[in-house]
Amino acid sequence: MKRVLLIQPIFPAAKKSLNHKNYLPIGLLKLAAWQKSLGNVVSLSFGMPTYDFAPDEVYITSLFTYWSRHVKIAVEQVRSSYPNAKITVGGIYASLQPDHCLSFTGCDEVYVGVHPEAETYHPDYTLINTNIQVIHATRGCIRKCRFCGTHIIEPEFTAKRSVASEISKRLVVFYDNNFLANPHIVDVLEELADLRVNGRHISCECQSGFDGRILRKKPSLAKLLKSAYFRYPRIAWDSGVNDAPKVHSEISILKDAGYSLQDIQVFMLFNHQLCPDELMEKVEFCFNWGVQVSDCRYRPLDLYFDGYNPRKSSQSKDEYYIHPGWSDRDIRLLRRTVRKNNICLRYRIPRERYSQKLERFTRYRKRSMLSNLGITSTTLSATELDAINTKWICQKQTDSDRKQ
């Protein structure tokens, strides 16, 4: 019997994203189930454990290549605390850049790709406090996008005909890279529509965007997604502005299936090959269509650092990756525009009435202020917005006076 320690390093994710559906260490949870089946004692820790556990083997996961420094820190801490333990690093960074990972982190072994034995096990959710269940209905992707590492990490596209037997929680998030490409997608969606957990319908979400080309070819899938209780559908628009009619068609397909425009998002890659003016034009199209944009800043797959700081007014290309066709100013302008547009769409605020001060409220203060002003509608008129802004300014002055 071995003692096995599984570690997710402390990555620089926003506090609200810790233990978020996008950061659950599913690979480690599957490794845990596999190791337990071998009769081993398993422990999971976010960062170094604060309890007494002397492991024989340590598995450390990795995420993006530009967070490699945090993996190195985790390896060094383990090496210092448990010098006799074997350290293996796996995950995205390890799979995309195994040679760099081995030499840079100082681990004993790098595991590349998906672990075949662990992949046959369901994640061991007893090791983590979450009401979310992560599922893979497919592995790999039928596309070979140059900016994406999926075809390197998961080179073979495989698909399941059924996932119902795996689901035990009501909130289900699919980590598939191309969910709709599953040749059994109709069967999967139909069984999800009929599935109940504790007598109630499940609620589904797909972490990646739906493949718009498949959606246009098979528009009936949108209604199946809706009937299977998929929330917040996302599509990707990585091509040029000339494809606006195609993207609008995909949005219309989702809308006709019963999705609200407010719930639809468009993934948009920037700081890449398309020039800033073209990206801004795409962003404007989305605003006019009434859908929010999820802006995705491009970083090369062999980038090992990222010092971008959204709170700074400006930075140089030595601090983070800036594409030759972009500038720091272009990047910050696009992100400000996307944030402004999204807030206006989310709260149905006329864009000319937008105030950056609205972004600084906590959700509790927003609700409290609306209640105090007697505003119950989610649609804000110009008069109501003026009242909120006036109230905010008065509140800021009161807070300032108290500090003095």
* Residues 239, 264 within the same domain: yes
* Residues 108, 204 within the same domain: no
pLDDT of residue 390: 64
> pLDDT digit string (tens) for 157-216?
999 999 999 999 999 999 999 999 999 999 999 999 999 999 999 999 999 999 999 999
Phi first, then psi: give them for residue 265, nearest 5 degrees. Answer: -125, 150
Q: Rounded CA gap, 240 and 331, in Å?
A: 17
We report the CATH number of the domain holding residue 18 as 3.40.50.280
* Residues 159, 39 within the same domain: no
pLDDT of residue 18: 43
Work out how many domains the chain is built from and give that number. Answer: 3
Question: Of 114, 144, 159, which marks where a domain is finished?
Answer: 114
Name residue 230's beta-bridge partners. Answer: 204
* Residues 153, 80 within the same domain: no
* Residues 269, 243 within the same domain: yes
* Residues 179, 195 within the same domain: yes
Question: Of 114, 129, 163, which marks where a domain is finished?
Answer: 114
Q: Which two tokens stand for residue 264?
A: 């639809």
Name residue 206's beta-bridge partners. Answer: 174
Query: Which range of residues forms the domain containing residue 257?
Result: 118-353
* Residues 93, 214 within the same domain: no
* Residues 172, 247 within the same domain: yes
* Residues 110, 215 within the same domain: no
pLDDT of residue 353: 78
Neighbour order of strands in the sheet with 203-206: 132-135, 171-174, 203-206
* Residues 288, 380 within the same domain: no
* Residues 343, 371 within the same domain: no
- 302: pLDDT strictly greater than 50: yes
Question: Of 114, 138, 168, which marks where a domain is finished?
Answer: 114
More confident residue, 388 or 174: 174
What predicted TM-score, i.e. pTM, was given to this entire model? 0.86
Using a 10 angstrom Cβ sphere, with 0-12 exposed, 13-18 middle and 19 or more buried, the burial of residue 192 is buried
Confidence class of residue 335 from pLDDT cuts 50, 70 and 90? very high
Using a 10 angstrom Cβ sphere, with 0-12 exposed, 13-18 middle and 19 or more buried, the burial of residue 144 is exposed
More confident residue, 55 or 358: 55
